[in-house]
Structures are given as structure tokens and as C-alpha cells.
Structure 1
Amino acid sequence: MEAADEWLLQSLRLYRDLHTFELQAPTRLIEWACGNRVCVAGYGQSDGNEILQLIPPPTLLTKEAQGLCPERDFKVECGGFSERPVYSLKYVPDTSLLVTSGPPDSSLQVWQVSAEDSDVIKSVSTIATENGTEQSWAKIATISARGPWVLHGSRLDRVQITEVESRKNVYTAASRGSEELSTLAFLDCNTLLLCCATGRLCLADIRQPQSLMEATSVPSAPCTEQWCMGTRHGAQGSEPSSQPVARLSSRGLLTLTDLRKTSELVALAKARVPSPGSSAEFLCVSWAPALEGYLAISGFDGTVHVYDTQSWDSSGREAEPIFIHKGHAFGGAGGSGDPPLVTVHTWHLQKPRTLLSAASDGSLHVWDWVQPCGKCG
């Protein structure tokens, strides 16, 4: 309790804003939806995993800081129940549809966020895959550039794009590899980026179905090491090739890659994280959408680290975080009796230094750190 009290006292000078909220069940996803809403979902193995669309606290909808406010100030706008654990959820842009995935197989579930006079998120269809019995759950990404599409797959040789409403196959990637996938992303309506759990990056162009180009490999590492990636969305109209790609490993290695020069790494650094545990399932790395060169990582313990990458090089030396959010670590024990583990984080789309993070004890935090004197951004 003393440590928690000390952290709260420090928070008065470390944070511009800090909000805490307790979910009924922990989530491993935080997804922005239409109208600055936020979606979360349970990932337990029981039948009743709740999917919720939340209205954020008022300070997230205004430009001015309101100070510390540790209250239950998220409001549930609508919700539904999934019979399976929800490991991933993506809002389909320009629609009222959500797509979810999770064990025990690689099928997808499509949900309709009901009209304003209803508070129900209802299941409308299932997208089965050719390898529907595959035990690995599907990683997903969505886009609406040509139509409501979902990119999905659990392994490199099982990646496809499906039109969400008609459930028609739009594209199937050609690959001889069968590595497990950790992250998928649309770079634009024609270009896909796939990250394998081994750290291997592959580019695909849907106009050339037989083309699957491998980008930079990662530094040699133990075969047990797991990787994930984060892509940064550039300004409207910018070239996707100018967007840096960050990869994070379960050992805390971070690589930055410019897809215009896929044969070399732009930067390599070592994050200051604890020794990796037996699981890397909550690894998360993300670029700040409104702050140049900043990224955040989580999944190692009860903290979220923020880094400024603009001075990084290829030396691989340890990087100094500019801020560490420690709030979840003081929230009590998780369901298993272990200290809470951060399961996911995401950046606010407009507020430069505001992040949302969730942990295995059901805590959901919104925080905006104080920029140290002499730092810009």
C-alpha cells in the first residue's frame, strides 16, 4: 500500500491527466471505433465474454487537461456477448461493423453495433476459413478503401482478404512458408505487411497474388524468441513506404525498418525491460500517431514504456525510456495471484502524449504524461 501511495503522490507531478477504470473482466484489446468510442472485450475461456463499446471520459474529447481524476468515468454505450474468447477486435472503417477473432480456431466473427435506439452489439455472421480447424487464432486487420475488407490469417501460407458483408474471398497470399503470424497490417488498399512470430517481415501486393517479398530479417536470436510489429500511419496522402515499421521481441529488442530499403535496419536498440518470461502473448509495440518518432511498448510486466527513437542508430545499445507508466503495477494481484501484467496499450489518435492501457487485473487507464523541461513535442 505504501508503494501505491508513493506512486499516487508522484503522479501529481508526472501526469497531466490520469483516469482509472475497473472492467468486469480483463481485456487484451483496446480499439478505437466511430465517434471516438473505445471497444474492449473479455478473453476468458468461459462462454460469456463481453464486448463493450465505451464512451471515453470527457477529458479525452476535449483539448484541455482536466487534472488527476481517478474515477469510473468511462460509460458503457452498448455491448454484446461472445461465446468464445476475444483475442482481437477491429472496427471496420466507415461502417457499424466489428470483426473479432480468438480460439479455438481461425474463424472470424462479425458484429453489428446497433442503431442509436439500441444498446446491443449483435452477432451477424461468421467468416469460416479453408483451414477452419487450425488451432491458431487468426490475426486481423481491416480497411474500407475499396470496400469493407478484413485481412486475416494464423500462418504465413493461410493469409487472405475477405469482403466482410458478402464473405467473398478477395485475395489469397501465395507463400511456401508456414510460420505462425503475430501481426498483420494494411499499408494501403493494395499493400500488405505481415510479421511472423519469428520476426520475419513479408510484403505483399494484392495486384500481384504470386508476389510475397521478404523484407529485413532480425538479428540472430534464440528460436524461442517471439516478435510482434507496429506500423505508423502517415499523414493523409503520404506514401506508405515512408512509414517506419517497429518490431519488438520477447527479449526487449527493438528494430526500426524503412520499407523503401528493406535490406537494412534503420535502427536497433534494447529496451530496458525485465527478463522475458515463458509467455510473449501480450507483446505490444505502437507508434504515436501525433508525435514524431515516439513509440510505446508493453507486455513484459505491469508497466508501459515510452521511447523517443529519433536519436537511435544501429548500435543495439540500451535505450532510455522517456516515460514509464507504472500505475497497473500498483493495482493489486491479477486473477492468478500474480502481479498485474499489461495486456495492451494504444495511443490517442489526436492527443500527442495520451495513451490508454489495460492489464490482467481488469484495470483500464488513460494517462497523459508531463513532458520534461527542455524536451519538445
Structure 2
Amino acid sequence: MIRLEDLTKKFGSVVAADRINMEVPEGEICILLGPSGCGKTTTLKMVNRLIEKSSGKILIGGRDTDTMNPVEVRRGMGYVIQQIGLFPNMTVEENICVVPRLLKWDDAKAKRRAAELLELVALDPAVFLHRFPRELSGGQQQRVGVARALAADPPIMIMDEPFGAIDPINREIIQDEFLRMQKTLRKTILFVSHDIDEAVKMGDKIAIFRAGKLEQYDTPDRILAHPASEFIADFVGTDRTLKRLRLITVEDVRDDGMGFVSDTDDLGYADALMRERRVESLVVVDDRKVPTGWIHAEQAGGRIGPVASRLRPLPVVIRSDADLRTAVALMFTHDMTWLACVDADGRFIGRVTQASITHRLGDTYRVRPAIEPAAIPKGAVA
């Protein structure tokens, strides 16, 4: 969808962007990351022609933007900035309708679109449509800024540190809402950030810049597991293994072969099953296969009666679609070495253990995954 070929920008003798080559596939989020003055914002603004390039090419959907009017380029892209930029003398509805009206939409259609978008960003149209920006919190203003960028349903969004001025709690909420929207909308997004944690959470790909050069362009997991240089390793941080926990789900590491018993089963059966599976404990489920507790070998061996008479309560369970950061946090909080995994309906489907998490992370460090040559943009470090 977006392809940059030897894209270069010079301000006098200063090279702000030096032969940038990268491609952002349709429907993906690409995070531009790097220290201040590295060229990421300059590259972003060249894409929507707020800054004119010195040389190279920018292709949008295969079309060279040199053949397009700059206004046409910008109207095909939603633009969100850190300062939000809402017009203070306009209501929320009027702010969202700015671009649709420039595109000559009829008034009723533009207003319908504004109401739809407020619902999409989790703001009640009945409450917020006719408020002015000064009547909104910072987080609410940012949501309106995103809604305005989406107003004309552009295929591409350009975002310059859009959540940087929001407090950490609201930033997390807005990031989650945005990712929820993206699952449905599948926009192609260029997103400048200074926050590696935000980049790991939000990006399908990350492009890391230094001194105007693209140092590495890859998936978040590959960048964290295999930084291309000492600079990249230092930039993503010494805790990069912990950052990777966000990228892997419980489903990826769960073990469905560790066994379970029903709360109506006999203790002797539970003891025999633990010996057969060579495990020290089993999850106990009810007749709907919902976990009700767990039983240790010490409670089952040499005893009679139903499992329910000896089970221990489970302090917590985890859904299979949760990330491993959540899993590890729950293990530490409850002093456990494993968690029972459940599906969306709460049914038991296996366990995740500290050992399985450690093994999964270790595998990717021991063997670097092969990268298709076409996946490495010209000029990037593989």
C-alpha cells in the first residue's frame, strides 16, 4: 500500500532522511521509532507531502505521489497529531465533519458519519456531539481527533505521536480501543512513536531510525529477539525479553496433555491418572468442564472418596487469548508455577507453566528465524 524507494530529505547540508526503503502492506500498522532527530517525523510528513522530499519515490497503492496534487494526497489520508488540533470554536460534530464537507458530502450524511464514529471510539453521540473541545478531557479530545481522521473513511492514516500527551491509564485504554477498531477497519497506518512499549503493542512492523537512516525494519518479535545492531539492542532495552511476553499468547504455549478430573471422580482414579501422566497435580472440573479447583498428589494418594472432598480452590484462571505478560504477572501475584487455561466460554483447555514460557522464549533466541529476501527492504539492516 505504501512503498518508499530511496526516499531522501536534505535541509541544506543536513540529511534528515537518507535513502529510506520500506513497504507497509495494506491493513498493517507500521511504527516509526527512534531517538529525537532521527528522521522518523520527517519521513512521516513526506508521505503526506507536508514536507516535500529531496529525492526518491513515494508510492501509494502503486501510484507515484509525484503525479498527484498534494491536496489530493492529503485528503486520501487521515491525520492525527499529538496536539490533537481540534478547532476550539467548533463542536465535536463540526470538527468531525470538516473533511466530509470539504469533499462536498451532504449535511445529513456528514452528521450520520460523525455519530457513527463517536460510537466507534466509545463516546456516546447523544452526550458528546454538541460539546466543544474545552468541555472534553484530554483522552476524550484524542478520541475525537481519531474520529475526525476517520471521517472520510481514508484507506491510510498518518499518526504523529497521537497518544503521547495522554496520561498512562487513559493511553492504555485508547490504545486498546484503537486496536479494537483496527481489527474491523484494517487501515494502513504509519505511526510515529518514541515509546518502545507502545510500538511493541501497536505495531505489525517497526521501523527503527538513527541519524536519518533506517536501521532495522521487521516485526516487533524479531526486533526484540534479534536486534540487528548494538544500537538497536540498547534502544529496545535490556528488558527486551520481558517486552516479548506481550507478543505471545497463552494459546501459543499451553499444554493440553497434563490431564484433568471431574469433581465427581474417585480419588483413586485421580491418583492413578497423576502417576500415568507423571504430574503432581490435576485441575478439577465440573460437568460443564469449568475449572472448580485443583488436587495435589498428596491429597489423592491412598485415599477414598470423591475428588470434590479434597480439591483446593483455584485462585485464578487465564483465558487462552491473554498474553504471556498477563500470565506471568498472575503467576507472581498468586505464587503459582502454572495456571489453568480456559476458552471464551470458561471451559478448561490446558495449562500454561513457567517452564513452557521459558522454553518458548529460549527457542527463538537459539535459532534465528529465516527471513524471506523480499521481506527485507532495500537499504535496511537484516
Instruction: State the TM bucket, normalised to the shorter chain.
Output: under 0.3
Instruction: Choose between structure 1 and 2 for higher RCO, CA contacts under 8 A separated by at least 6 residues.
Output: 2
Q: Which is higher, the Rg of structure 1 or of structure 2?
A: 2
Q: TM-score, length-normalised on structure 2?
A: 0.26
Q: TM-score, length-normalised on structure 1?
A: 0.26
